Structure 1
Amino acid sequence: MSVEIAALSGDALVAALPDLARLRIAVFRDFPYLYDGSLEYEQSYLKSYHDNSKAVLVAAIDAGTIVGAATGMPLADHGDAGQLHGLAQPIEHVFYCAESVLLPEYRGQGIGHAFFDKREAFARQLGFKTSAFCGVIRAADHPMRPADYRPLDSFWHKRGYAPLPGVLARFTWTDVGDAAQTTKDLQFWSRAL
């Protein structure tokens, strides 16, 4: 496969948001997120990327189709900032790598590293010294955990990220198969740039 990796901003980023919404719904439906998403919610959630010159969307493009995407922006600009609890440093000093979604058939080819490389380079250009993201916490014995599931912790550690003890984000969404939303804790990970 020949996949192009492109960092998009401005109008190109906005044009890619429908693809990002589609990918978020598809990829986050799997464990560990189990997100039963909707386009209506996605349109609302992704509004913070419109008209934000400090936002980036890194797209993985195969034959003209976006097959993966990763986003980033200053944490202070992101709607997720209000869900974060326990962070010692000011949010204005943190570049937030929000989602990173890639269709399964494209995994294991180095695209995840390229997503981080491009976002971290963008953050450095803006003068940020810290990069961070959140990952959902699920019980090891969760009934929907696939037998072959491998957490991404080792990948994140290799990238230089470490979990910040006690620093969590709390989000509410409906899990696949559930009738109502429930609150989930997400671990905050960070690294110096």
Structure 2
Amino acid sequence: MITTRILTGEAVAGALDDLARLRIAVFRDWPYLYDGDRAYEREYLKAYTAPGAVVVAALDGNRIVGAATGAPMEDHAEDFAAAFADRPERLEDIFYCAESVLLPEYRGHGLGHAFFDGREEQARSLGRRYSAFCSVIRPADHPARPADYRPLDGFWRKRGYEPLPGVIASFHWRDLGDAEETTKQLQFWMKPL
């Protein structure tokens, strides 16, 4: 039986290795194609031990098989300030639903809803007015795109999220098989809480 658990602070710190392994495994797949590094991931994930941050973990017994991260948007201001510069919402009113990762064999059982429910509950507890996330933009004709790929846009819209026109973030990572990092564009989606 799969259960979900809310992790904060020290509980997140105790799960860093498991979370890093999970992110590297899941983000290797389309559309991320991320060539991850465990040391980088551990360091990155430490941000989710901070006050206000949350990890919603999916567990099969004691094994973490999925996780969704979230934190106050101002904790990511360096990365997102430019994308939101022309928006009326203050970063301090937004909760950032960062990454959701779930091993393929556990998909299709409602855990995506549990991931958003947990993060949105955290956002409300912090008095946030909006919940936002971003999705990687890849061309439809990308050679690594699986023929059976189904975008999650319909799921996100059913949850009340809509893409924010022109609100695009840029991040750098190394794709599988590449020698260097390249810039990726990510589309922000948001909903009022």
Q: TM-score, normalised by structure 2?
A: 0.95
Equivalences for residues 1-193 of structure 1 within 5 A: 2-50=1-49, 52-78=50-76, 81-84=77-80, 85-87=82-84, 88=87, 89-193=89-193
Q: Distance in 2 between matches of 1:180 and 1:128?
A: 37
How many percent of aligned residue pairs carry the same amino acid? 63
Q: What displacement does 1:96 show?
A: 0.4
Query: Which aligned runs of 4 or more in structure 1 are off by greater than 6 angstroms?
Result: none
Q: Distance in 2 between matches of 1:149 and 1:28?
A: 15
Q: What displacement does 1:15 show?
A: 1.1
Which amino acid letter does the alignment assign opposite residue 67 of structure 2? A
Q: Distance in 1 between matches of 2:67 and 2:164?
A: 25
Q: What displacement does 1:177 show?
A: 1.0
Q: Distance in 1 between matches of 2:75 and 2:6?
A: 19
Could you report, residue by residue, the CA deviation over 1:72-131 in whole angstroms, capped at 9, with x for unpaired residues? 1101113xx322233212211110000100000000000000000111011101111100
Which amino acid letter does the alignment assign opposite residue 10 of structure 2? D
Which amino acid letter does the alignment assign opposite residue 54 of structure 1? G
Are 2:72 and 2:96, in contact at CA under 8 Å, matched by a contact in 1?
yes
Q: What displacement does 1:147 show?
A: 0.4
Q: Which moved more, 1:58-67 or 1:41-50?
A: 41-50
- Number of residues paired by the alignment? 189
Q: Partner of 1:31: helix, strand, or coil?
A: coil
Q: Which moved more, 1:89-98 or 1:133-142?
A: 89-98
Could you report, residue by residue, the CA deviation over 1:149-173 in whole angstroms, capped at 9, with x for unpaired residues? 0111111111100000000110000
